[in-house]
Amino acid sequence: MHRSSIRQKACAIFSLALLGLTSTAVQAADAPAWEDKYVNPKPLADDVVLPMPCGGSMVFRKVEVPSNGPLDDYPISIGGTDEGRGYSEGAHNAYVAGAFPAGKTLRYTLMAKYDVTDLQWAAMMEGDCPTPSLVKRMPKVEIGWFDAVSFADRYSQWLRKNALAKLPKDGGEVGYLRLPTEVEWEFAARGGMKVSPSQFQDRLPPMTEGLSKQVWYAGSQSANGKLQLVGLLEPNSLGLFDMLGNVDQIVLEPYRLNKLSRDHGQPGGFVVRGGNYLTAEQDIRSSYRQELPLYDGEGPRRSKTTGFRLVVAGPVLTSADKLKEVQGAWDKLGAVSAAAATPAADPVEELSKIAKSVADPATQARLQSVSLTLRANIASRDEQRDRAVRTSLRLGAFLGRKLADDSKAVETLAKIYKTRVDAGQADDPRTKNFKDELDKEQTVLDDILRYYADTLLRTADDYGEEVVRKQYDLLQVELQGLGLAELKPFVEKHMGHLTAYRKDHKVARNLWLKNWNTM
């Protein structure tokens, strides 16, 4: 066959293939949108919906985290306290931060509301558009880590080509789909900022109606040994379904052992979290964590109990301006504040100057290492200080609310007592009972007022105004996320008393009590 004939046949084959691809693309674009019952069986008002091929979609929820700067992250405690599983799930400190801005003191990452289903998998990975049906609302299983990563990559590329404007942005960078990190997954599984810190560290997240209302686990009273459709049960505090049970969920990083305060040095297979429909009820827990090998026999490891869900995240350094902002924040990290420092008061700066003046490279390297360690210790101290400030502000708000309630109760008792005395019933036993109750409640009120004043003075005297103001802003975000927005006016009132005290240093207990009485 002549070379020109071969070229002509190749061109013809390519044209037919291109025609087929164009036809499929048109078919996908013209496909009717999937009904909610196939993709979002329990819609919520603030769902975030991203399109998929074939008229499909995937639903996400915002997982929000407080943030006060480019290097600010949120400290949490993850893992469990069961010593028998300490090598894998031992409790330890971790940090989480959002990928996209949502105002000055808040960032968020999007996490899929449900596990990826058979229907969504077919639309993205199998070429022809599937016919939506309830049976295809099953979680996609029999997959491994490479399969999940491949799905995320294809979906990211499809969105960038077909729905770029739908993706969230940070600076000039558009988000993309990936597997969640272990910290992101556990933060969301425990309820994120929608639960209190003490609830967050419980073995299970809050479930007001019991485990079986949120989790598919082994046994006839639950999954009964069968995989279940997504979205049949109730969501967690963040509006996420089936975070625990039904299918194990693949996360991004390789498995590592826990070595008390740190990860062990050897990375292993991939990690699955949350348990599945064959997991015993007593083994369901937020810290549930297992290792699976990447390969099994001659190919990738796949399991009938393993599925996955995605997050929408993005790069960290999104622009030249962001890089400059991070560099500025890094330079300040662990440094003594300018207001409190003299030229010799900042040990980090002094060490840096000394290191630069030393000629010996080895000594210079050692001094720089000490400087980095010192900066890390100061940064850790600052994070502990910030948490203590927020705790102190919350305590002031709670005490203020208690003062508001108790002062009104005392006022009511005082009015009743005065009315009975004015009516000539001072010697009546019931009047004396009212007087005894009034005296008791007044004593309690006075004690709480003293404790409130002590708390206010300690906060004002121990922490700088700028530090308190920043943590006040973050606390307002925390309270909103925890569903405690009703406390925000009390925090605001307490902050007003703090500000006034800073100006005149008057311990105005009676005025503060009067202010609380009007709440």
pLDDT tens profile 304-330: 999 999 999 999 998 888 888 888 888
Residues of the chain with pLDDT > 90: what percent? 62
DSSP state of 68: S
Residue 339 sits at the vertex; the CA angle it makes with 337 and 345, to the nearest 5 degrees, is 65
User: In this structure, what token pair is assigned to residue 121?
Assistant: 């998998």
- What's the pLDDT at 378? 83
In the predicted model, is pLDDT for residue 39 greater than 60?
yes
- Structure-block tokens of residue 312: 């929408």
pLDDT the model gives residue 92: 86
β-pair type (106-112, 100-101) = antiparallel
Q: Are 60 and 111 in contact (CB under 8 A)?
A: yes
Residues in Cβ contact with 62 at an 8 Å cutoff, skipping those fewer than 6 apart: 46, 48, 102, 108, 109, 110
458 close to 392: Cβ distance less than 8 angstroms: yes
Q: What is the pLDDT of residue 16?
A: 36
Q: Is 456 exposed, middle or buried (0-12, 13-18, 19+ CB in 10 A)?
A: buried
Domains and CATH numbers, the chain: 34-313 (3.90.1580.10), 320-375 (no CATH), 381-517 (no CATH)
Contact yes or no for 269/249 (Cβ under 8 A): no
In tens, the pLDDT along 433-460 reads 989 999 999 999 999 998 998 899 889 8
CA atoms within 13 A on the CB side of 469: 5
DSSP string, 211-269: GGGT-B-SSTTTTTTS---TTSS---TTS---SSBSSEEEEEEEP--EETTEE-S---S
Report phi then psi at 179, rounded to 5: -70, 150
Are the CB atoms for 112 and 310 separated by under 8 Å?
A: yes
Q: Give burial (CB, 10 Å; 0-12/13-18/19+) of 193.
A: buried
Location of structure tokens 């599983």: 85
Q: With 80 as the cut, is the pLDDT of residue 22 above it?
A: no
Q: What is the pLDDT of residues 117-155, one digit of tens each?
A: 999 999 999 989 999 999 999 999 999 999 999 999 999
Q: pLDDT tens-digit profile of 92-107?
A: 889 999 999 998 889 9
**b/e per residue 120-129 (b: at least 16 CB within 10 A):** bbbbbeeeeb
CA dihedral sign, ordered 334, 338, 339, 341: positive
Rounded CA separation 193/375 (Å): 29
Sign of the CA dihedral 9, 13, 16, 18? Answer: negative
pLDDT at 294: 96
Please give the single-letter amino acid code of residue 244: L
Tokens (6 digits) for 441: 């409640």
How far is 231 from 224, CA to CA, in rounded Å? 17
- pLDDT, tens digit, for every residue of 179-197? 999 999 999 999 999 988 8
- Closest listed residue to residue 248, CA positions, set 181, 179, 309: 309
Contact yes or no for 288/109 (Cβ under 8 A) = no
Residues 268-288 have a mean pLDDT of 97
- Band of residue 291 on the pLDDT scale cut at 50, 70, 90: very high
